[in-house]
């Protein structure tokens, strides 16, 4: 099978965030949105990843260097649209001619590995030049609509909200902004994209329009979750992403046998691992790579970051970072465990 690569678009400033950090570094459950996207690509076994940086590039590049694994980056000095951003990755793409590239938005954290893999399977099986990852929304307002051929069901066009007539506006399937491209097909049209629009920018969906015009196969894969399309342009939307992610994670662990009798103030990060038969009391926050073994009671008002907690431990109003806490240990109330301490009974 030909190798795969991914280009992640992460150049945006996010002015409406009114923040001193790049938009993609805004955290969802303490983890930058960009890292959610990178993790999904890595878990989907993408062979190589290139991040297109822009606003505050040094911050993004420094963060990439801090991660395990090698990630490439290229710089978009002027923000001239998504198509222009992909052009910045030209040399990276040319290394993967004959293969496929996954284009992702660095500020859409709920793309997941299973969706990426399933969309690629469709892409390969149908011999598509492009496979758009789409989703069906109850309220599709503001999103580009997926228009399919009435006979074949293949993708015929992506029509933006402002250009949609009443019939198209009634369509609930929308473009997520994530795409699988055959690299050769993408490169063949990438520099033919026009910027003759009100914003004077180069938009990646116009590349899809050009590929369709050449008679190549284009289709859309419908993601199982409508959350795939969600991003954040301001702090209210970021709060909504945090709320949604928090509730999903709490439901997941409760279904796996973690007892959370009252979820007030309970926050569990996406990379936390919990065994069953654990009780978590209000005000407990678990972050980073924290792992907790069975039989523990955590809380109330306990903060653990990158900790390993043994079986049967009881932590009441404890703050700890980077600690190993042994089986059946009892700590608190009002105790701080330093990162250099490895506690044992």
Q: pLDDT tens digits for 322-335?
A: 999 999 999 999 99
Which CATH superfamily does the domain covering 4-229 fall into?
Spore Coat Polysaccharide Biosynthesis Protein SpsA; Chain A (3.90.550.10)
Low-confidence winner among 51-60, 110-119, 195-204 (lowest mean pLDDT): 195-204
| Structural tokens at position 57 | 């590039």
Give the separation between CA 286 and CA 330, rounded to whole angstroms. Answer: 18
pLDDT bin (cut points 50, 70, 90) of residue 14 is confident
User: Which residues neighbour 135 within 8 Å (Cβ) at sequence distance 6 or greater?
Assistant: 173, 174, 176, 222, 223, 225, 226, 227, 228, 229
Which residues does 272 contact at the CB level (< 8 Å), separation at least 6? 249, 286, 287, 288, 289, 290, 291, 292
CA angle at 212 for the pair 163 and 135, rounded to the nearest 5°: 60
Statement: residue 1 has pLDDT above 80: no
CATH of 256-343, one of 3.90.1300.10, 1.10.10.60, 2.160.10.10, 3.40.50.150: 2.160.10.10
Q: Which two tokens stand for residue 107?
A: 């500020």
Angstrom distance (rounded) from CA 124 to CA 117: 11
pLDDT on residue 198 = 85
Contact 99, 183 (CB under 8 A): yes
Q: How far, in Å, are 154, 209, 217 from residue 213 at the CA level?
A: 14, 6, 10
Distance CA 134, CA 119 (A): 10
pLDDT at residue 344 in the model: 44
CA-atom Rg of the chain in angstroms: 22
Question: Is the pLDDT reported for residue 149 higher than 90?
Answer: yes
The Cα–Cα gap between 125 and 173 comes to 22
Q: Which residue, among 82, 117, 91, 85, has the nearest Cα to 102 in the 3D structure? A: 117
Residue 22 in contact with residue 60, Cβ under 8 Å? yes
Closest to 154 (Cα-Cα) out of 86, 229, 211: 211
Task: Summarize the confidence of residues 126-153 as an average pLDDT.
Answer: 96
With both helix axes pointing from N to C terminus, report the angle between 113-126 and 33-43 in degrees, rounded to the nearest 10: 50
Residue 297: CB atoms within 10 A of its CB come to 18
Q: What does the pLDDT read at residue 192?
A: 97
Please provide the average confidence, as pLDDT, over all residues in the chain. 95
Tell me if 230 sits within 8 A of 244, measured CB to CB.
yes
Average pLDDT (98-120) is 98
pTM of the model: 0.94
Determine phi and psi for 336, rounding to 5 degrees. -110, 125
Q: Is the dihedral of CA 263, 265, 270, 273 positive or negative?
A: negative
Give the start-to-end residue ranges of the domains of the chain: 4-229, 256-343
d(CA 129, CA 122): 11
Question: Nearest CA to 95 among 183, 211, 188?
Answer: 183
Neighbours of 61 (CB within 10 A): 15
Q: Tell me, what's the pLDDT at 215? A: 95
């Amino acid at each position: 099978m030909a190798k795969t690569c991914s280009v992640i678009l992460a150049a945006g400033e996010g002015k409406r965030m009114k923040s001193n950090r790049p938009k993609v570094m805004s955290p969802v459950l303490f983890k930058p949105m960009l890292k959610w996207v990178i993790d999904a690509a890595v878990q989907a076994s993408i062979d190589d990843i290139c991040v297109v940086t822009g606003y505050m590039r040094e911050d993004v590049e420094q963060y990439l260097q801090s991660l395990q694994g090698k990630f490439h980056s290229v710089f978009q000095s002027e923000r001239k649209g998504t198509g222009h951003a992909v052009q910045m990755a030209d040399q990276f793409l040319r290394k993967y001619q004959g293969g496929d590239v996954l284009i992702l938005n660095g500020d859409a954290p709920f793309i997941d590995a299973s969706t990426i893999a399933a969309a690629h399977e469709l892409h390969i099986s149908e011999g598509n030049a492009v496979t758009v990852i789409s989703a069906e929304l109850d309220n599709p307002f503001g999103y580009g609509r997926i228009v399919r051929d009435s006979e074949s069901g293949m993708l015929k066009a992506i029509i933006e909200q402002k250009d949609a007539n009443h019939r198209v506006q009634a369509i609930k399937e929308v473009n997520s902004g994530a795409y699988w491209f055959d690299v050769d097909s993408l490169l063949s049209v990438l520099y033919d994209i026009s910027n003759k629009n009100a914003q004077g920018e180069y938009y990646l969906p116009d590349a899809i329009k050009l590929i369709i015009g050449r008679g190549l196969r284009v289709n859309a894969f419908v993601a199982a979750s409508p959350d795939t399309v969600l991003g954040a342009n301001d702090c209210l939307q970021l709060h909504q992403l945090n709320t949604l992610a928090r509730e999903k994670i709490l439901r997941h662990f409760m279904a796996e046998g973690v007892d959370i009798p009252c979820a007030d103030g309970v926050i569990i990060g996406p990379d936390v691992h919990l065994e069953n038969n654990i009780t978590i009391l209000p005000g407990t926050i678990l972050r980073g790579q924290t792992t907790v073994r069975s039989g523990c009671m955590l809380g109330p008002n306990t903060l653990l970051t990158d900790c390993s907690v043994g079986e049967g431990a009881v932590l009441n109003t404890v703050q700890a970072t980077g600690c190993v806490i042994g089986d059946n240990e009892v700590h608190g109330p009002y105790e701080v465990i330093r990162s250099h301490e490895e506690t044992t009974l």
